[in-house]
Amino acid sequence: MADKQTSSIHGEWSSRWAFILAATGSAVGLGNIWKFPYITGENGGGAFVLVYLVCIAVIGIPIMMAEVMLGRRGRSTPINTMKRLAMEAGQSKLWSFLGWSGMIAGFLILSYYSVIAGWSLAYIFKSASGEFTGSSAETISTLFGDFLAQPFEISLWHSVFMLITMVVVARGVRHGLEKAVRFLMPALFVLLLIMVGYAMNSGAFSDGLRFLFSPDFSKITGPGILVAMGHAFFTLSLGMGAIMIYGSYLPQNTSIAQTTFWIAGADTVVALLAGMAIFPIVFANGLEPGSGPGLIFVTLPIAFGQMPGGLFFGTLFFILLLFAAWSSAISLIEPAVTWLVENRNMQRFKACVYAGLATWLLGMGTVLSFNQWAEIKIFGKTFFDNLDFLTSNIMLPLGGLCIAIFAGWLLPRLMSADELAMKSDSQYELWRFLVRYITPIGVAIVFLKAVGFI
């Protein structure tokens, strides 16, 4: 057995709290504030939330523990980590492809994530300039459509977002990633609480709470359960290399189980707070909670344009959205940057320039798929839709499934027990049971549903 590596060459978090903030920042993103509210609206509210929480517990947390464990055990990029651990466990070096899959998935996701994040950046200025004030639903829908039709404007905001992301990553673990999340995550929570306080005075706060927390089990459907299961998996940034590389910077004496529960808890609280901030505003203005992806960029601007103080709080909301996207983006590019440093002997700054430019260039395909390439379809989907489908429905579930199989079935029991160092044997046995049996079945069902087999 190879000697256990005690620290990463890229640095280490200064404390357990720094890791919790960073990993929470990775997990908390557009999925919590943009996607969670609208899929909750589409799937009936409280019953969906309850199913989602169960899925976080039995799918999300066990895989996150496994991914952090593998990262800290390997102390390297996801590719080199999987290669090293496979050799340690007497398994095939081909397991390094799991690392490749995660790194490439993160790279692909960031290429289009940056474009959507650029929209939130643009909407900060649109809201602050009063473009939504007093505007009708038709006017705001037209405004969004006109915005998407402008490739130069979208690419400008995409470029700005990629630049601010790479500035943080170029500064390294402690001076870049850690400093950024120490500011971004507390700021995000404060902004969310302000928005919830604002929603409390909207006149429909009780309606919003009832919608979120009063389950109507007649509204639970098979497709809704699958959506909850899938979102529980994706919201924690699993299977894309980000949590594995962040785990490689985790101090050895830090409890993986405790930190994972903190991260999953914080991620869930942010999603619920987002719902508490958004749904009362939606109901107070007689809007539709299940209005789909347009909830943030069309429905909410309609509400902000009509309500007192809407200009200020609308601007605040899109700043919140930007912070959430920014904290996730820096984790998505980190595996690619560290791989260039380790395998191509690049300085970190140069690696950031190469990785950032490549991501930005691929992102231009997403920019154009909303306008000039909108009619170009492959398998009936635009460039953006294909990227989203490939990563969300194929690469991430397969990555998560492979992480569960490797950690639960192939990594020797002594290694996983040593790295997790849980307080009791029963806690370890519960994790091992979930990651070997329950979690893989759940992820496999999501994957098979996504690709049309069930």
**pLDDT at res. 114:** 96
Lowest mean pLDDT among 47-61, 142-156, 188-202, 229-243: 229-243
How far apart, in whole angstroms, are the C-alpha atoms of residue 11 and residue 253?
16
Q: Is the pLDDT of residue 307 over 50?
A: yes
CATH number of the domain encompassing residue 201: 1.20.1740
Using a 10 angstrom Cβ sphere, with 0-12 exposed, 13-18 middle and 19 or more buried, the burial of residue 30 is: buried
With cut-offs at 50, 70 and 90, classify the pLDDT of residue 6. low
- Is the residue at 6 inside a domain? no
How far apart, in whole angstroms, are the C-alpha atoms of residue 193 and residue 208?
15
3 state SS of 381: strand
- Is the residue at 337 inside a domain? yes
Determine the average pLDDT of the residues in 314-322. Answer: 92
**pLDDT at res. 137:** 82
- Is the residue at 2 inside a domain? no
pLDDT tens figures, 209-225: 998 998 888 888 888 88
Determine the average pLDDT of the residues in 76-95. Answer: 94
- Is the residue at 372 inside a domain? yes
Q: For the chain, how many structural domains are there in total? A: 1
**Percent of the chain's residues with pLDDT above 70:** 98
Measured between its terminal Cα atoms, the distance across the chain in Å is: 42
- Is the residue at 416 inside a domain? yes
Q: Is the pLDDT of residue 73 over 90?
A: yes
How far apart, in whole angstroms, are the C-alpha atoms of residue 176 and residue 166?
10
- Number of residues in the chain: 454
Determine the average pLDDT of the residues in 424-453. Answer: 89
Pure H helices in 89-204: 96-128, 137-148, 151-170, 179-200
How far apart, in whole angstroms, are the C-alpha atoms of residue 180 and residue 17?
14
Determine the average pLDDT of the residues in 31-44. Answer: 84
- Is the residue at 7 inside a domain? no
* Helix 61-74 × helix 439-450 angle, to 10°: 100
- Is the residue at 86 inside a domain? yes
How far apart, in whole angstroms, are the C-alpha atoms of residue 369 and residue 384?
6
With cut-offs at 50, 70 and 90, classify the pLDDT of residue 4. low
Q: Is the pLDDT of residue 146 over 70?
A: yes
Q: Is the pLDDT of residue 315 over 90?
A: yes
pLDDT tens figures, 93-112: 999 999 999 999 999 999 99
With cut-offs at 50, 70 and 90, classify the pLDDT of residue 368. very high
**pLDDT at res. 103:** 95
Using an 8 Å Cβ cutoff, are 244 and 102 in contact?
yes
**pLDDT at res. 437:** 96
Determine the average pLDDT of the residues in 255-270. Answer: 93
With cut-offs at 50, 70 and 90, classify the pLDDT of residue 293. low
Residue 372 neighbours by CB distance under 10 Å: 11
The residue ranking higher by pLDDT, 78 or 287, is 78
Determine the average pLDDT of the residues in 239-250. Answer: 92
Most confident of 11-20, 195-204, 290-299, 397-406: 397-406
Q: Which domain holds residue 134?
A: 16-450
With cut-offs at 50, 70 and 90, classify the pLDDT of residue 1. very low
Kindly state the helix (H) or strand (E) to which residue 320 belongs, with its residue range: helix 310-343
**pLDDT at res. 282:** 85
pLDDT tens figures, 387-420: 988 888 888 888 999 999 999 999 999 999 999 9
Using an 8 Å Cβ cutoff, are 70 and 85 in contact?
yes
Determine the average pLDDT of the residues in 78-88. Answer: 95
How far apart, in whole angstroms, are the C-alpha atoms of residue 299 and residue 285?
10
With cut-offs at 50, 70 and 90, classify the pLDDT of residue 448. confident
Using an 8 Å Cβ cutoff, are 40 and 216 in contact?
no
**pLDDT at res. 451:** 74
Contacts of 150 (CB under 8 A, 6+ apart): 371
Report residue 389 CA to chain centroid gap: 15
- Is the residue at 4 inside a domain? no
**pLDDT at res. 376:** 93
Using a 10 angstrom Cβ sphere, with 0-12 exposed, 13-18 middle and 19 or more buried, the burial of residue 72 is: buried
